[in-house]
Amino acid sequence: MSTPASLSTILQPALSEDEQDAVTDLYIRGTPPNTLRAYERDLIYITAWKLAAFSAPLAWPETETVALRFILDHSRDLHDASNSARGAAEHLIAQGLRKTLACPAPSTLDRRIASWRAFHRMKNLASPFDAPLIRQTRGKARRAAAKPRAPKSANPITLDVLEAVLATCDHSLRGIRDRAVLMLGWASGGRRRSEIAGLMRADVDLKDYPADGLIWINLIATKTTETGKTPRLVLKGRAAKALAFWIEMGGITDGPLFRPITQNDDPLARKLSPDGIYQIVQKRIAQAGFPKGFATPHGLRSGFLTQAALDGAPIQAAMRLSLHKSVAQAQKYYDDVEITDNPATDLLG
């Protein structure tokens, strides 16, 4: 992946040209593509904001005054403001870099600050966002904007929901593909849609399938694991049969594992996008008779863990498939189970 022009200006500490090239190459190879794209978008945004707010380009290192103003400008609603903060926001809106004058989500501000700090680290410079006053101000702003966290999926896709959704998948190639997508996404631990879409045929090991009915899945990387350090996942039973059937019927010998299907029910050569996974889940949820917005692809992940809790599976066993690093994070799904449905209430029979 080539370095975007605006980002390449950041990757230039006071080194020789050869050393700069080597550092740039390390950052490119050592940073996930999605992170690089996020860095690029954030750099474009903060550069435009600094120009609109101060009529000046970014400085390295940046001043604490600029850092404080950035936090203040992005921690309040500007609809009723008539100051320079609103003027800068309107410039960003005109450039398509900001949607409204409403206060941005705290997570968006956190990400942009994290990127700005990363740019300083790339240049071996101290970040103004590490100053005590700036850190305290950011903490106060985050608490002031705190809202109850909305779930990524309105409802978990537990086994009963999944069965209803799978029943909508017919024997067309599209139905065969969708059944495999849903079963792999659920049974392998609740995979994220980006992980499902990113699978290649080479990531699927069928050598144990004929004798033992097992399929091994090799994820290159996930949100919580590093490239090359993700443990192999296993599919068995109905999920393994669904995936093997898709591979056979789709003629998937190499390249992307899941692909778009034409109106003539033929697979294309390119991979299915994460948005394609989203559309599959939405379509099948609706066809199963559930209301619009009932669940999203994250419902596969939350549904797997919720079902594990309902079935009395130890949380550590579920986490080996879901690949959660934090027990506290995975525990939230276990805590969502109604106490009357908790298998522990039936220990005496």
Report the C-alpha gap between 241 and 247 in whole angstroms: 10
CATH of 159-346, one of 3.40.640.10, 2.40.10.10, 1.10.443.10, 1.20.120.400: 1.10.443.10
* Predicted pLDDT of residue 334: 81
Say how many Å lie between the first and final Cα of the chain, rounded: 59
Q: What amino acid occupies position 222? A: T
* Phi, psi (degrees; rounded to nearest 5) at 335: -70, -20
- Element at 298 (helix H, strand E): helix 298-310
Residue in this structure with the two tokens 């596969």, named with its chain if needed = 300
* Predicted pLDDT of residue 54: 94
Long-range contacts of 170-177 (CB under 8 A, 24+ apart): 172/265, 173/249, 173/250, 173/261, 173/265, 173/266, 173/267, 174/261, 174/265, 176/242, 176/245, 176/246, 176/249, 176/250, 177/246, 177/250, 177/258, 177/259, 177/261, 177/267
Contact 297, 281 (CB under 8 A): yes
Structure tokens at 102: 């409403």
Cβ atoms < 10 Å from Cβ of 295 = 25
Report the C-alpha gap between 271 and 269 in whole angstroms: 7
Q: DSSP secondary-structure letter at 312? A: T
Please count the CA atoms within 13 angstroms of the CA of 24 that sit on its side-chain side: 21
* Predicted pLDDT of residue 204: 95
Q: DSSP secondary-structure letter at 256? A: B
- Indicate the class that CATH gives domain 5-144: mainly alpha
Structure tokens at 259: 């692909």
User: What are the CA-CA distances from residue 271 to residues 199, 202, 252 (Å)?
Assistant: 9, 13, 11
Contact 307, 158 (CB under 8 A): yes
* Predicted pLDDT of residue 7: 58
Instruction: Pick out the chain residues at pLDDT < 50.
Output: 1
pTM: 0.62
* Predicted pLDDT of residue 221: 61
Q: What amino acid occupies position 165? A: V
User: DSSP strand E in the chain: where?
Assistant: 204-205, 215-217, 233-235
* Predicted pLDDT of residue 124: 81
- Name which of 169, 164, 157, 167 is nearest 261 in CA terms: 169
What are the boundaries of each domain within the chain?
Answer: 5-144, 159-346
